[in-house]
Amino acid sequence: MTRNTTLSLIIIFVILILSIYLVLPTTNSFLGRTIVTKLGLDLVGGQQIVLQVDLPENTIPDRALLEKARQIVESRVNGLGVAEALVQIAGNRYINVELPAVKDATESINAIKQTGVLEFVDMSQLSDEQAFALIDQTIRTDLEESLAGAVTTPITATSTLTDTVFHTIMTGAMLESVETTTNQVGQPVVSFRLTPEGTKIFADYTRQNQGKILAIVLDKKVISAPRIREPIESGEGIIEGNFTVESANALTVQLRYGSLPIPLKVAETRTIGPTLGEDSLRKSLIAGAIGFAIVILFMVLYYRLPGAVAISAILTYAVITFAIFRTIPVTLTLPGIAGFLLSTGSALDANILIFERLKEELRSGRKLGLAIDLGWKRAWPSIRDSNIATILTSLILFWFGSTFGATIVKGFSLTLLLGVAVSLFSAIVVTRTFLNVLFTYFQPSNYSKWFGL
């Protein structure tokens, strides 16, 4: 064995062992990365919602605003408690939301479509501890009733505070501006200015309730419960709390953009029942296994010894690719699995191209070692050029898929792309090294028996 071959062999084994480790179902993390087999909506069932910016066709929404809208949608979706929800911007006017294993479409859409209502809520009857305990809790307020024109019901104190209906003094509609600043002792605080109408309501209220608690509530969730230190007549106020710069900024953003910064509408909804997903997954796996078995049989019968080597190279390829899928992670969809199988075809193609050349060289009477070198060298330009063409197409597909949140197209192109890239490695390095190693120890003389010549 030459030194190069030994080196390649070591590299292959290191990569292979690492990949096998990553593919094991028991491996959940590696070097701080989460390792997971991510299955797409078409396999586990669930719901996809594409939100579209509801602005005239020719206006392009501000990127920063779109990102804020995305964050707001994300926090609302997370509020639903959906595991592994995905919220991402697609193109320049879409937000793609994927909710695996969600059955009730209406609930999730309602949550996403919340308007982001900010309320200033009267908690004057509560103690500091009680109010503090309510932070991050969902409460009930009488906002809807008063909006509906009903007579404001008196605060009903019940056994649990989360059942108490609190009185809403005013909403975020009265805010003119919000900023993060620092107070005299250098602590981060959130300062706000109210509209003239808000100033009046706020002045009246704070005068009457000095020293009591006024909660700031976003979409029925208490985000802060500051105490009214003194009457605020100027319409300007600060919210103090145990803020870090980050949490103060977060609150500012929430107050400023409590409502979505740009109007969104539902452009597309897709619901896939879980049964359909499971069924497809099982069937495709069986189909993949059958296809693979036929291919193995063919390669070994037709190309004999090199065919068997190619199969081991392909298995190496499959393990490495799957390890990459788990590490990135690439979401596996049905077309994704098809893309993976097709790239296996590509990997085989490279091997077949080499073997056909190898046979040609052997037929013209060359020695085995030379024939391998020549076969490989001659097959290389077509392997390179043809695979680059495939890589180009999958890149274009990927771009097409990302602009519309078409996860299915994206998944397919990504698996194809990665597959083709690894298949190049498998054909160039793995097959060649395996063949070299094999023929160092084993020099067959009967070509028709070992090579199917």
Of residues 302-331, those binding other proteins (CB under 8 A): 302
User: Contact with other proteins (CB under 8 A): which of 150, 245, 290, 370?
Assistant: 290
The continuous run of DSSP H or E covering 271 comes out as strand 264-272
Specify whether the CB–CB gap between 116 and 84 falls below 8 A.
Answer: no
Site for other proteins in 356-375 (CB under 8 A): 356, 360
Contact between 345 and other proteins per CB under 8 A: yes
Residue 283 within binding range of other proteins, rule CB under 8 A = yes
Minimum CB distance to other proteins smaller for 10 or for 301: 301
Binding mask 96-115 for other proteins (x = CB under 8 A): ---------xx--xx-----
Angle between helices 368-403 and 334-363 (to 10 degrees): 160
Q: Is 42 in the site for other proteins (CB under 8 A)?
A: yes
Query: Is 87:70 a contact under the CB 8 Å cutoff?
Result: yes
User: What distances in angstroms separate CA 406 from CA 26, 40, 88, 108, 247, one per listed residue?
Assistant: 31, 12, 12, 20, 35
Q: Which of 190/260 has CB closer to other proteins?
A: 260
User: Which one of 123-131, 146-154, 180-188, 348-356 is the stretch in contact with other proteins (CB under 8 A)?
Assistant: 348-356
Determine, following the binding rule CB under 8 A, whether residue 397 of this chain makes contact with other proteins.
Answer: yes
Applying the rule CB under 8 A, the residues between 259 and 278 that interact with other proteins are: 265-273, 275-276
Question: How far apart are CB 250 and other proteins at their closest, in Å?
Answer: 30
Q: How far is the CB of 204 from other proteins (least distance, A)?
A: 40
- Among positions 169-228, residues that touch other proteins (CB under 8 A) are none
Q: Which of 298, 377, 440, 443 binds other proteins (CB under 8 A)?
A: 298
Burial class (CB in 10 A: 0-12, 13-18, 19+), 332: buried
Judged by CB under 8 A, which stretch of 68-76, 179-187, 378-386, 445-453 contacts other proteins? Answer: 378-386
Distance CA 339, CA 413 (A): 7
Query: Per CB under 8 A, which of residues 43..102 are in contact with other proteins?
Result: 50, 52, 57, 94
Q: Which of 225, 334, 372, 418 binds other proteins (CB under 8 A)?
A: 334
Nearer to other proteins by Cβ, of 42 and 122: the residue is 42
Q: Taking the mean position of all CA atoms in its chain, how far away is CA 297? A: 38
Instruction: Quote the least distance from Cβ 392 to other proteins, whole Å.
Output: 5
Dist CA 437 CA 449 (whole Å): 19
DSSP lists the bridge partners of residue 190 as 180, 239
* DSSP 3-state of 144: helix
Q: Which 3 state secondary structure label does DSSP give 315?
A: helix
Site for other proteins contains 406 (CB under 8 A): yes
Report the candidate in 84, 85, 108, 102 with the shortest Cα–Cα distance to residue 46: 102
415 near other proteins, rule: CB under 8 A: no
24 vs 297, beta carbon nearer other proteins: 297
Options 6-14, 32-40, 279-287, 427-435: segment touching other proteins (CB under 8 A): 279-287
Which residues in 153-187 belong to E strands, given as ranges? 165-171, 175-182
Q: Indicate whether 132 belongs to the interface with other proteins (CB under 8 A).
A: no
453 counts as binding other proteins under rule CB under 8 A: no
CA nearest neighbour of 325 among 263, 406, 418, 403: 418
- Is the previous residue joined to 100 through a cis bond, with omega within 30 degrees of 0? no
Q: Which distant-in-sequence residues (6+ apart) come within 8 Å of 344 by Cβ?
A: 292, 295, 314, 317, 318, 419, 423
